[in-house]
């Protein structure tokens, strides 16, 4: 304004200043809501700020944290992906994205994101440790699926039992492993065991189509037509 005073520009500058003050106020409120663990309120405030400050990586990371706490992982992923692009060498964002995919049971996407982290910093401790875990699990699942394609059901069962030992903490992997073991037992004519295991899976996921189909096949082997 000092260099080029004019009414229009003064108006524009005043408007921007007011907006800037307003955004700073919203920012303080968002941080305070986050610290008080009121994540829903923090998200609403951050939505308002990010509508204006679209390119702010740190605000996106903060909103991603709130989404994680609110149990909305896919929204967190989209904010973290933006943050990974907006900030150079953002290993932290890649690590978090990989971790979320892993918790959701998407081991393949988890592996590709953690590799991005290691491309930026091959000595990143958290990423390296996650990479080793996901790579091992990924390999076991791929090899079990290969056995199933070859009709080597006993080998596949033993490989899926290893999957459950490799990752006992994240329930989705145990459920998937049991679903696939049930499939192998059913294909292997071991009807009683198949029915038992598929029923376990269906208690956790009543609409699991694969488990329903495999249990139906096992019931057929036992001549239990009504079931």
Q: Which two tokens stand for residue 131?
A: 């990479």
Q: For residue 223, give Cα distances in angstroms to 47, 63, 78, 95, 227.
A: 58, 55, 50, 51, 9
Which tens digits make up the pLDDT trace of 138-194? Answer: 999 999 999 999 999 999 999 999 999 999 999 999 999 999 999 999 999 999 999
Which tens digits make up the pLDDT trace of 22-73? Answer: 999 999 999 999 999 999 999 999 999 999 999 999 999 999 999 999 999 9
**What are the extents of the domains in the chain?**
150-226
Q: What is the pLDDT of residue 5?
A: 72
Contact 104, 72 (CB under 8 A): no
- Residue 172 DSSP one-character state: H
Q: Write down the CATH number for the domain with range 150-226.
A: 1.25.40
């Amino acid at each position: 304004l000092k260099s080029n005073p004019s009414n229009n520009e003064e108006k524009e500058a005043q408007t921007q200043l007011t907006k800037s003050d307003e955004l700073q106020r919203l920012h303080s409120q968002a941080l305070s809501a986050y610290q008080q663990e009121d994540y829903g309120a923090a998200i609403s405030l951050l939505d308002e700020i990010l509508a204006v400050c679209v390119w702010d990586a740190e605000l996106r990371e903060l909103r991603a944290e709130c989404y994680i706490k609110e149990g909305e992982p896919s929204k967190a992923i989209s904010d973290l992906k933006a943050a990974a692009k907006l900030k150079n060498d953002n290993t932290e964002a890649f690590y978090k994205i990989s971790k979320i995919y892993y918790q959701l049971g998407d081991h393949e996407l988890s592996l590709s994101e953690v590799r991005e982290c290691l491309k930026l910093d091959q000595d990143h401790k958290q990423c390296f440790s996650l990479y080793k875990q996901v790579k091992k699990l990924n390999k076991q699942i791929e090899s079990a699926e290969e056995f199933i394609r070859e009709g080597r059901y006993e080998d596949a069962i033993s490989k899926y039992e290893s999957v459950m030992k490799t990752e006992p903490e994240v329930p989705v992997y145990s459920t998937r492993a049991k679903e696939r073991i049930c499939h192998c037992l059913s294909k292997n004519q071991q009807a009683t065991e198949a029915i038992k295991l598929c029923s376990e899976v269906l208690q956790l996921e009543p609409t699991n189509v694969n488990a329903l189909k495999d249990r139906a096949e096992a019931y057929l082997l036992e001549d239990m037509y009504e079931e």
